[in-house]
Structure 1
């Protein structure tokens, strides 16, 4: 971790969210405090505040912060991992979003606040989501990849993920989506671009996880 980058990025966070405090504990950096924000959907603004904690991994910014909501306002059933950390979205989607503004302030504005606003909206509007919702766990990951790849079957998702996991995206070969087009004339540019955000090891993990779900091997 580049400590200078962390402190420089934190200064911009403090300018926008002065109640968030950076601390160093047990060889880790944390940002804690009340996150006060105003967000809107369909031109209806909502003002909210949550007590949160960001834990910065030693590999930040190559790895994303871990986020917790500290007052237990958000129930376990609402897109949280088993350890209580917040599930802000599909991992690849988060990486792509973060890449557009790879700073702590960008992470807060583009990932944490939309999540917290979605929860607030969900509570106030009969469990409706403002931006749509993915299912939990592997099912949600499959839904994300189906939308990303613009395919309509789980088999096609798995086939594309497998090719990504072995880095076999070749322009002259048939596209792994199963169309009759060559990769260069179909998904090629998009799939190759994904390697900027996720490596073959992570795609292999996603492929294995989705395959286990489809085969009914997950609880």
Structure 2
């Protein structure tokens, strides 16, 4: 509220905390393009933040639903994994606003002005989730991302005995154990199990109607 004085805490019965109001996005990005615009947003913050990230909604009608929104109308701020990485050293709401929300708002305003995205564009749906997970775990296209997330959600002694999801014939303990163990230590087993469930649900949503696959 100090950084964005037009925000207010809103009484509610749904989230642990709801903050709503005008947010000033005043940033200078690629090619020196400066954005100084105001957006009306609502942040719905769960009680388990930062383990569970806030949902952010734009309420001023400036951002069309065709521009990076989730199915529930919330802004698609990037994969949960990379949002969590962005605030890892400062898991606070000011850091979430500065490092996650404001770059999204800047990206929209930049795109509206230039027709291009300033920081690149992540694929939608499961493809984007998988892309960021591969980047995070430093594995190639052959990796089974769901199994990789599940291995990070298991105890080290159990996971290390299983086949490495990267696609090699080796067990995890003789392959990508270092990066998986480090990830588990950073965010905890529960978080990676939730990411696996999220990816599975997203794949199911994308399954063609009538498909038995």
TM-score bucket (shorter structure): 0.7 to 0.9
My pick for the range that moved more, 86-95 or 41-50, is 41-50
Which segments of 5 or more consecutive residues in structure 1 lack a partner in the other structure? 1-13
Residues 169, 203 of structure 1: alpha-carbon distance in 2 compared, 3 angstrom cutoff: farther
Who is 2:44 aligned against? 55
Q: Is the 8 A contact 2:149 2:193 kept in 1?
A: no
Q: Deviation of residue 104 (structure 1)? A: 1.2
Q: Is the 8 A contact 1:57 1:63 kept in 2?
A: yes
1:40 pairs, out of 25, 28, 45, with 28
Q: Is the 8 A contact 2:110 2:117 kept in 1?
A: yes
Q: Cα RMSD (Å) of the superposition?
A: 2.7
Q: Deviations over 1:35-59 (max 9, x none)?
A: 0121122233221210111112233
Who is 1:21 aligned against? 8
Residues 174, 30 of structure 1: alpha-carbon distance in 2 compared, 3 angstrom cutoff: closer
Who is 2:187 aligned against? 197
Who is 2:80 aligned against? 91
Which segments of 5 or more consecutive residues in structure 2 lack a partner in the other structure? none
Q: How many residues matched?
A: 202
Whether 2:127 is the aligned partner of 1:139: answer yes
Q: Deviation of residue 134 (structure 1)? A: 1.0
1:64 pairs, out of 48, 53, 59, with 53
Who is 2:207 aligned against? 217
Please report the TM-score for the alignment, with normalisation by the length of structure 1.
0.78
Residues 151, 201 of structure 1: alpha-carbon distance in 2 compared, 3 angstrom cutoff: closer
Q: Is the 8 A contact 1:158 1:211 kept in 2?
A: no
**DSSP-derived class of the 1:50 partner:** strand
Q: Deviations over 1:167-219 (max 9, x none)?
A: 5432x776432347774675323212322325253143145347658xx7356
Whether 2:156 is the aligned partner of 1:164: answer no
Q: Is the 8 A contact 1:53 1:70 kept in 2?
A: yes
Q: Deviation of residue 115 (structure 1)? A: 0.6
**Distance (whole Å) between structure 1 residues aligned to residue 182 and residue 43 of structure 2:** 28
**Distance (whole Å) between structure 2 residues aligned to residue 68 and residue 49 of structure 1:** 14
Please report the TM-score for the alignment, with normalisation by the length of structure 2.
0.80
Q: Deviations over 1:38-88 (max 9, x none)?
A: 112223322121011111223334322211100122122211112211111
Q: Deviations over 1:142-174 (max 9, x none)?
A: 22123223333254434423433445432x776
**Distance (whole Å) between structure 1 residues aligned to residue 40 and residue 138 of structure 2:** 37
**Distance (whole Å) between structure 2 residues aligned to residue 180 and residue 84 of structure 1:** 42
Q: Deviations over 1:77-133 (max 9, x none)?
A: 21111221111111122122222211111110011001111111111112x111111
